[in-house]
Amino acid sequence: MEAIENKVGEPPSEESILVEAARSGDIGAFESLVRRYDRNVFRIAQHITQNREDAEDVVQDAFLKAYQNLGQFQGQSKFYTWLVRIAVNEALMRLRRRRPERTVSIDEDVKTEEDSIPREIADWSPNPEQQYTQSELKDILGKTIQGLPTSFRTVFVLRDVEGLSTEETASALELSVPAVKSRLLRARLQLRERLNKYFKRRDGDTRP
Amino acid sequence: MKCSDFLKELTDYLDNTMDPHTKADLEEHLQWCHNCYVVCNTTKSTIEIYRGSKLYELPDELRTRIHDAIVTKCQCHKNDPEAANSSEQTSSEDKSSK
């Protein structure tokens, strides 16, 4: 088994040491990687599948698949990006199983009615999220993002919620950088448009 | 610069991944175009609100359960890779047939 390559002159990161140990069969080291990324994988899985039970299964299956295939991880991308790619594929598979009547693909470049032309230009209240309780806000944000096409939702979650770079998102989703940027722009603008009704500045009553 | 040109560049502008010359052009546009200013600000807020949200957190109890399941499955795979693979296949077939 080849050792994971580090960039020339760079000391091995804590993560690459854990990955290397896990590849040699150290389950404790793999458990540390699970602890490091399980929350992120769960969030991504739930955003894609929109189902908690499926998200739970995706986390288990993605980590198990990663463990089984550590030998194939070459270290050219970050372990996390590689793990996200596995998790996204598992999540899409679950979504397809649940909604066989609808095509679910990351490759789809959906043209939606709203697309990227802002229709309502309204300024928002300062700190708009503070108009709502945590639970109301979660409900609003969850419902709003669920309405996006899968490919837009996935790109937005990886790039803007999880903080992957555009290049890492492209690598995790096996998309080109321009394709990621195009979907990201449309996802951001569509979410903005949909959140208008909750957050726009009003005279008097601040709630819709 | 037209508003449609501004919108095309909005993602790179918000991510601060553009050359200084284009950035200066966009900021000049923002100074007089109120609509683009509002769209830019509210899009930025959209990203910040989602990033700061506690949507889909993994509860501790569920986290422990998932960890235990992962470690058990990895242990099975380590001890007997082929058996672990076949039992994983059987269990996913079981689930899909439900």
Query: B51 and A163 in contact by Cβ < 8 A?
Result: yes
How many degrees, rounded to 5, is the angle at CA A80 between CA A76 and CA A84? 105
Neighbour-count burial of B51, counting CB atoms closer than 10 A to its CB (0-12 exposed, 13-18 middle, 19+ buried): exposed
A2 falls within a domain? no
Q: Which residues of A26-39 are buried (b: 16+ CB within 10 A; e: fewer)?
A: ebebbbbbbeebbe
ipTM, two decimals = 0.84
pTM for the model stands at 0.85
Task: Name which of A137, A118, A135 is nearest A127 in CA terms.
Answer: A137
Which of A26, A44, A68 to substitute to test the interface with B, most B CBs within 10 Å?
Answer: A68
**Domain residue limits, chain B:** 3-52, 60-97
Task: Tell me which residue in A38, A42, A57 faces B56 most closely, judged by beta carbons.
Answer: A42
- Position B77 scores a pLDDT of 83
* Cβ-based contacts of B45 with chain A (< 8 Å): 124, 128, 199
A144, HSE (Cβ side, Cα atoms, 13 Å): 26
Q: Are residues A114 and A189 in the same domain?
A: yes
Q: Are residues A88 and A114 in the same domain?
A: no
User: A26 is in which domain, residue-wise?
Assistant: 14-98
Residue at which a domain ends, from A38, A68, A98: A98
Q: Are residues A115 and A184 in the same domain?
A: yes
Taking only the tens place, the pLDDT of each residue in B25-84 is 999 999 999 999 999 999 999 999 999 988 999 999 999 999 999 999 888 887 877 665
Residue at which a domain ends, from A41, A75, A98: A98
Q: Are residues A78 and A126 in the same domain?
A: no
- Position B93 scores a pLDDT of 44
Q: Are residues A124 and A208 in the same domain?
A: yes
Taking only the tens place, the pLDDT of each residue in A60-119 is 999 999 999 998 888 778 899 999 999 999 999 999 888 766 656 666 656 655 566 777
Task: Measure the CA–CA gap between B37 and B5, rounded to whole angstroms.
Answer: 14
Q: Are residues A156 and A64 in the same domain?
A: no
Cβ partners under 8 Å of residue A65, min gap 6: A86, A90
User: What SS3 state is found at A124?
Assistant: strand
Residue at which a domain ends, from A98, A115, A134: A98
Task: Measure the CA–CA gap between B70 and B55, rounded to whole angstroms.
Answer: 23
A7 falls within a domain? no
Task: Measure the CA–CA gap between A83 and A70, rounded to whole angstroms.
Answer: 10
Q: Are residues A74 and A131 in the same domain?
A: no
Q: How far is CA B58 from CA A28, A41, B19, in A?
A: 21, 10, 39
Task: Measure the CA–CA gap between A184 and A165, rounded to whole angstroms.
Answer: 12
DSSP H or E stretch at residue A57: helix A52-68
Q: Are residues A89 and A66 in the same domain?
A: yes
Q: Are residues A126 and A191 in the same domain?
A: yes
- Position A99 scores a pLDDT of 75
Task: Tell me which residue in B11, B42, B78 faces A27 most closely, judged by beta carbons.
Answer: B78
User: What SS3 state is found at A105?
Assistant: coil
Q: Which residues of chain A have pLDDT under 70?
A: 1-11, 100-116, 203-208
Q: Is the dihedral of CA A105, A52, A43, B63 positive or negative?
A: negative
Q: Are residues A147 and A60 in the same domain?
A: no
Task: Measure the CA–CA gap between B20 and A42, rounded to whole angstroms.
Answer: 38
A36 falls within a domain? yes
Measure B37 CA to nearest chain A CA, in Å.
Answer: 9
Q: How many domains does chain A have?
A: 2
Task: Name which of A38, A41, A20 is nearest A29 in CA terms.
Answer: A20
Residue-wise DSSP of A18-35:
HHHHHHTT-HHHHHHHHH
A9 falls within a domain? no
Q: Which two tokens stand for residue A145?
A: 């993002």
Task: Measure the CA–CA gap between A152 and B54, rounded to whole angstroms.
Answer: 20
Give the residue from chain A lying closest to B4, CA to CA: A117
Query: B11 and A188 in contact by Cβ < 8 A?
Result: yes
